[in-house]
Structure 1
Amino acid sequence: MRLSAKDAVRLGFISKKDLPKEVQTEMKKQSKDLEGEEQCEVVNQFRSLYPVEGHLLIHIPNGGSRKNKFEGWRLKQQGTRAGVSDLHLPIARGGYFGLWMEFKAAPPFDASIQNSQIQWLQEMRAQGYYAVLCKGPEAALKELIAYMSLPKTMPTQFPPEETGEIRIVS
């Protein structure tokens, strides 16, 4: 029986570190594709489970390659920041203001976790958000379902001038 390098790693016969560099590079590229596919699976399943609120789960397209340095500079000027989590759910539950989720593909194809991603999750937790790093679609859906099962967070009071209308400020 012949195994691919990916299958050998998945089955635990060899570590990713022991593979030739070019195979590691190819697997890293494939894991990025897999991560995107798995994240789509999570979003689609969440939206099916929660048809009323599901559309509020959004992806923050913060990473990826840039055409050139100017484009990268412009995006930073517009507010792009390293480490911002992949998914955001602006639904208040369980005393939290919302949920931030950093998503990685299921092991062994998960990408490494960057310090900036950990820092963002810590900052969001400090600001009153539920912040979590999930590896794989099963873990992500489990967290999302658990979060949605928490009681709704109700505001303590609205400002006296609040009418429910969207404010337009010029």
Structure 2
Amino acid sequence: MTTTRKPRRVLGPAGAGTAPRKRPVDWEGQEQAVLIRWLLGERQRGTAVGQLYDVTYHVPNGGQRSKATGAAMKRQGVKSGVIDLVVMEARGCWFGLYLEFKASPPHTAPLAPSQRDWLTLAENRGYCAALAVGLEEAKAVLREYAEWEPTDVEFCDDPVRTMQSGTEWRKGE
């Protein structure tokens, strides 16, 4: 026996009656997921840009949340405007890449002042900072970054320091 479920009704704003409204589409999130799948495919093909897959991660800062969840996340360190993707690979005399990703037109959201501030902060702290609008531009940024020479991180005359505070994580269990 097959049953058909009625579609869930999402009510509009207060006073709008009972007219259902469409759920918002996360165009940026969908495109960014395609970018990460592409990067994984490049890794599997053994390309230079594919080497960035293992050191690239998303900072889940955006999205729709309840006020309580948003407040809890803020207490845990979430900050407005933090860049979408981080590539933890030092190249081209930079310590890494901060990539702010925006969906392709016509779904491109404007760059928020807080995002511009984070891009500036990242660049001022020694990180390459880039804005990519759409999938193809993001691929181009990652390909170009992958072509740059690895940064020699042994720039200090002092020996590499290790933390004396915290729990030792380098020893086996």
TM-score, scaled relative to structure 1: 0.73
* RMSD value, Cα: 2.4
The 1-side partners of 2:73 and 2:89 are apart by 27
How many equivalent residue pairs? 140
Q: Is the 8 A contact 1:48 1:54 kept in 2?
A: no
Q: Residue 106 of structure 2: SS of its match in structure 1?
A: coil
Corresponding position: 1:73 with 2:71: yes
The 2-side partners of 1:59 and 1:161 are apart by 28
Tell me which amino acid in the other structure corresponds to 1:149: E
Distance 1:96 1:47, change over 3 A: same
The 2-side partners of 1:111 and 1:29 are apart by 13
The 2-side partners of 1:87 and 1:161 are apart by 27
Q: Which has the higher helix share?
A: 1
The 1-side partners of 2:70 and 2:40 are apart by 32
How far does residue 47 in structure 1 lie from its aligned partner after superposition?
Answer: 2.4
Distance 1:161 1:111, change over 3 A: closer
Q: What is residue 57 of structure 1 aligned with on the other side?
A: 56
Corresponding position: 1:36 with 2:29: yes
Q: What is residue 159 of structure 2 aligned with on the other side?
A: 160
Q: What is residue 94 of structure 2 aligned with on the other side?
A: 96
TM-score, scaled relative to structure 2: 0.72
The 2-side partners of 1:71 and 1:36 are apart by 19
Distance 1:162 1:123, change over 3 A: closer
Q: Residue 73 of structure 2: SS of its match in structure 1?
A: helix
How far does residue 152 in structure 1 lie from its aligned partner after superposition?
Answer: 0.3
Distance 1:96 1:161, change over 3 A: closer
How far does residue 52 in structure 1 lie from its aligned partner after superposition?
Answer: 4.2
Q: Residue 133 of structure 1: SS of its match in structure 2?
A: strand
Tell me which amino acid in the other structure corresponds to 1:34: W
Q: Is the 8 A contact 2:99 2:131 kept in 1?
A: yes
Tell me which amino acid in the other structure corresponds to 2:59: I
Q: What is residue 136 of structure 1 aligned with on the other side?
A: 134
The 1-side partners of 2:160 and 2:141 are apart by 36
Stretches of structure 2 that go unaligned for 5 or more consecutive residues are: 1-20, 44-49, 168-173
Q: Is the 8 A contact 1:60 1:85 kept in 2?
A: yes
What is the percentage of aligned positions where both structures have the same residue?
A: 34
The 2-side partners of 1:137 and 1:144 are apart by 11
Residues 76-133 of structure 1 deviation map (CA, whole Å, 9 limit, x = unaligned): 1211000001111010000000001111111111112211111110110111111111
- Name the larger-Rg structure: 2
